[in-house]
Amino acid sequence: MTIEALGTPGQAREWCRLSREAGASLGLVPTMGALHEGHLGLVRRALEENDRACASVFVNPLQFGEASDLEKYPRDFEADVARLDSIGCHMVFTGTLEQFFEGELDRGGSLPADRLLHPGPQALGLEGEFRSGHFEGVATIVDRLFEVASPDRAYFGQKDFQQSLVVSELARARGGPRVVICPIAREPSGLARSSRNELLEPRDRERAACIAVALSHAARAWRSGVRSVEALEGELAAALDRPGVELEYATVRDPSRWSPGGPTWEFEEAVALVAVRIGGVRLIDNHLLGEPGPVTLPPAAEPRG
């Protein structure tokens, strides 16, 4: 094993400092672990574009609303280290909330509300609405990770579309690092890879394939000229209307101009965003509608004459 696996943010800070002193550029990949091909794609990209790449593995309690969701979240640090090592990642670090926010926690072990960062308007609506406080937690830990590692570039996935906007704005406001957004890695069924997929029963995993089908229907409609938000949402909703699939939202936004609700202006690009619960597991996905859908749909039935 050649990767440096560091147990505290303090050790990571020192490693990154020495790395900078040696003149090496650094790419950081923040993760919550249970690493899969989606995460590894980000790390590979960081390795391509920097002299060194490091990943953080921290299941950040600040961004979880439901305690049960936080408890259920899969964790396997040793397996994560081995995966990162196998692709040549230089360093991985983890730590506890206490270590990340040394001397800042209250007696109950939480970060006081006035220490949380408030993200920009990109946090409004959708995830910001369904997971109240989520983006405050994300912005607060991402800012701390940026501060610990001082990377040249930081890599995030388009899988968490709204998060990618929030962290890009955060990085812009603090003057770095450069944020690189990487494409969504999918399973053969089209299901976006996610650590949460591990929590799905086999039957629910099959069901979850309808998310990529719904995105593909919306993409087909968009590419055939449909521009009405309602009609595009109708495509999504119809494909997601399946037993065992509980819809939180299925909607469309203009990716070049975030709005908490659907765009009320004419938009030239569109992103469809979906959040559902299947078997108690919350899954999100999205797709830029100008691109072919994540799955190939059977040809549309000819209207009967």
Give the x-and-dash track for 41-80 against ligand AMP (CB under 6 A): xx--------------------------------------
Q: Is residue 159 at the binding interface for ligand AMP, with CB under 6 A as the rule?
A: yes
Q: Is residue 193 at the binding interface for ligand AMP, with CB under 6 A as the rule?
A: yes
Distance of alpha carbon 265 from alpha carbon 286, whole angstroms: 21
* Beta carbon of residue 211, minimum distance to ligand AMP (angstroms, whole number): 12
Is residue 39 flagged as an active site residue? yes
* Beta carbon of residue 138, minimum distance to ligand AMP (angstroms, whole number): 9
Give the x-and-dash track for 168-187 against ligand AMP (CB under 6 A): --------------x-xx--
Distance of alpha carbon 191 from alpha carbon 185, whole angstroms: 9
Buried b (16+ CB within 10 A) or exposed e, 44-79: bbbbeebebbbbbbbbbbbbbeeeeeeeebeeeeee
The residue among 111 and 182 lying less far from ligand AMP, judged by its C-beta, is: 182
DSSP 7-76: SSHHHHHHHHHHHHHTT--EEEEEE-SS--HHHHHHHHHHHHHSSEEEEEE---GGG-S-HHHHHHS---
Q: Is residue 195 at the binding interface for ligand AMP, with CB under 6 A as the rule?
A: yes
Q: Please report, in angstroms and rounded to a whole number, the separation of the first and last CA atoms in the chain.
A: 66
For the chain, how many residues are written? 305
The residue among 58 and 101 lying less far from ligand AMP, judged by its C-beta, is: 58
17-36 residues in contact with ligand AMP (CB under 6 A) are 31-32
Residue choice 9, 38, 128, 294 for contact with ligand AMP (CB under 6 A): 38
State the residues that interact with ligand AMP by CB under 6 A.
Answer: 31-32, 38-39, 41-42, 156-157, 159-160, 182, 184-185, 192-195
